Structure 1
């Protein structure tokens, strides 16, 4: 009997005992930025390079580091406000890539090359525009010539026949002694009389 009572008390004690302590959540492992990984140093929480050189893009820092050096990059970023740092990093990486391709001129050489292309394209555009104006002028001249040709080849109305009074011999019948001439003379006088009456 005593053994059964001891087992019940032991079971009641085990049920009322506090649960084992819960394991703490795992601390997230923060991977160092690409700059600190390449430089083999501890990446601080407030690392200046961390936002701009992520760990999955080590080539970005490698290129800039090869040309400018880590201390110069850090100094440049610390001297700038945070709003301008991303643009500064992009410019540094672009200049570093250009310097690796062309150690003498760098990005200035690329800009000069692009400016030369722009000038060549502008010259080609000017030539094309001049040719277009020339073609338009030729079309206008062709249209004008076609219009003149059409006017010259259009059928004209029959010209008025010249009267037979042009010859001096034919005008003889209009003198006063001629019957036809006297008839026209009388008709013109009568018309003048009618107008005077009115």
Structure 2
């Protein structure tokens, strides 16, 4: 006959097995439940890839989200930043843009790029050489305009004098023309009248009476 404590341990063994099986079932239902969150969905979404601007790419540095150079030096225009960077340097460009309001930064970048390009074309005078050349062209065009205006005034005076001469010739021709001749029809119509007068004069002379000229 077994000892009493062994019989009690055997009697507890089936109940332990039942409890473990119930825990396994509960865990299975918990993982298979549709309302449970998936471990894949709980992972954070991958961050969007930010392509660097031309300035940061040339400088080989990380382009921040609020990079002050990105709006004015896009990655598709690397030559624009290379030209400005060659004359001014990156730190001076950044400092200049930070000191200006955003409404004037685009014009400042265009001015820097133009000045740097002029300095590359003319290392001695830069923009001053371009300005002198343009001023020379303006002076030449102003002189040409003055000559053209003088020629126009001269032509207008010549036309005015020519018109006055034409009017004088017309007046002289009209005054030197003889009066219009009497039409022949007037003489043809008065032939009968003259013949009547001559006949009446002959008749009066033969009869000794003075002719009457009352018509």
TM-score normalised according to structure 2 size:
0.62
16-25 vs 62-71, greater mean Cα deviation: 16-25
Mark the runs of 5 or more structure 1 residues left unpaired by the alignment. Answer: 1-8, 159-198
| Secondary structure class of the residue paired with 1:141 | helix
CA apart distance, 1:114: 1.3
User: C-alpha distance in 1, partners of 2:108/2:97?
Assistant: 8
Residue in 2 that maps onto 1:33 = 53
What's the C-alpha RMSD, in Å, of the aligned pairs? 2.2
Q: Is 2:75 the partner of 1:55?
A: yes
Residue in 2 that maps onto 1:139 = 159
Q: How many residues align?
A: 149
CA apart distance, 1:28: 1.3
Q: Is 2:36 the partner of 1:16?
A: no
Residue in 1 that maps onto 2:89 = 69
TM-score normalised according to structure 1 size:
0.67
User: C-alpha distance in 1, partners of 2:51/2:74?
Assistant: 9
User: C-alpha distance in 2, partners of 1:47/1:24?
Assistant: 25
User: C-alpha distance in 1, partners of 2:95/2:124?
Assistant: 24
Mark the runs of 5 or more structure 2 residues left unpaired by the alignment. Answer: 1-24, 180-215
Partner of residue 148 from structure 2, selected from 125, 128, 131: 128
Q: How does 1:111-122 map to 2 (within 5 A)?
A: 111-122=131-142
User: C-alpha distance in 2, partners of 1:19/1:78?
Assistant: 48
Residue in 2 that maps onto 1:151 = 171
| Secondary structure class of the residue paired with 2:66 | coil
User: C-alpha distance in 1, partners of 2:135/2:160?
Assistant: 37
1:135-184 deviation per Cα after TM superposition (whole angstroms, max 9, x unaligned): 111111111111111111224565xxxxxxxxxxxxxxxxxxxxxxxxxx
